Amino acid sequence: MNTITYNDIIKQAMYTKLSLIRYYYTQMSIVQREGGAFYKPLFFEYPNDDGAYTNQELNIMAGPALKLGIQSTSLATSTEFYYPAGRYCSVFCKMETDCCVSYATGQQVTKRTLAFDFYLDLMAGHLIPMQNATA
C-alpha cells in the first residue's frame, strides 16, 4: 500500500510553489502597478458566464492564465468544478495520455479529490514561465 506522508505533501507543495515562482512574481508585479487581484473568483474573468458564480470557493483564478480547482472539505472523495468554455491543459499532468481538454460550453466536471488534492489548469492562449524546481 502506498502511504502518503506529511513530508511528501510538504515536498509536493514546495515543488509546486517553486515551479511557479516566476509566474507569481510577474503577476504580483502587474497587480501592484495596475491594481486588481492575483487570486480571484472565476467570475472576475468570466462575468457573463452564469456557471462561474457557482461554487466560488472551489473555482479560483490565479492571475489571468491559471484556473485553480480546490476542494474545501477534507472528507470529500470527489468534487464538481466548473470550467467555462475553452481549452485547458493540466500544469502538472501525470497522465500518459493527452493532458488537455476542451469544452464548447461551460461544464460542471466531477473530479477525484482527496485531502490536499488540487487541479491547476493553464488556459488556452497563455504562456507561463516555469522555474526548474528539481535542481
66-70 and 78-83: which strand pairing? unpaired
Is the predicted pLDDT of residue 135 greater than 80, yes or no? no
127's grid cell: 504562456
Identity at 54, one-letter amino acid code: T
Q: What Rg value do the Cα atoms of the chain yield, rounded?
A: 15
- Tens of pLDDT, residue by residue over 76-133, are 788 889 999 999 999 888 776 788 999 999 999 988 887 767 889 999 999 888 877 6
Q: Residues 3-21: what's their mean pLDDT?
A: 80
Cell 503577476, residue located: 27
* CA neighbor of 130 nearest in space, from 10, 20, 16: 20
Binned at pLDDT 50, 70 and 90, residue 2 comes out as: low
Q: Which among 60, 41, 27 has a CA at the least distance from the CA of 127?
A: 27
- Which pLDDT score is estimated for 113? 82
At 43-86, the pLDDT tens digits run 999 999 999 998 888 899 999 999 999 876 767 788 889 999 99
Give 74 or 15, the one with higher predicted confidence.
15
Rounded (5°) CA angle 22-112-70: 40
Query: What are the b/e assignments for 91-118, b being 16+ CB within 10 Å?
Result: beeeeeeeeeeeeeebeeeeeebeeeee
Angle at 129 between CA 10 and CA 60, to 5 degrees: 60
Distance CA 95, CA 83 (A): 20
Record the pTM.
0.82
